Amino acid sequence: YDSYATYDELIPYTNAIERWDIKCIDQLPEYMKPSYKALLDVYEEMEQLMAKHGRQYRVEYAKNAFKHRREDDCSAIECYMEEYGVTAQEAYDVFNKHVESAWKDVNQEFMKPTEMPTEVLNRSLNLARVMDVLYREGDGYTYVGKAAKGGITSLLIEPIAL
Of 68, 101, 119, which one is at a domain's C-terminal end? 68
Q: How many residues are recorded in the chain?
A: 162
| Residue-level pLDDT at 44 | 92
DSSP characters over 14-40: HHHHHHT-GGGGGGS-GGGHHHHHHHH
Domain boundary among 68, 87, 104: 68
HSE-CB at 12 with a 13 A cutoff on CA atoms is 16
pLDDT in tens, 79-129: 899 999 999 889 989 988 998 999 999 888 888 888 888 888 888 899 888
Q: SS3 letters for 105-157?
A: HHHHHHCCCCCCCHHHHHHHHHHHHHHHHHHCCCCCCCCCCHHHHHHHHHHHH
Same domain membership, residue 87 and residue 143: yes
* Same domain, residue pair 61 and 108: no
Q: Domain limits at 19?
A: 7-68
**Would you say the pTM of this structure is higher than 0.85?**
no
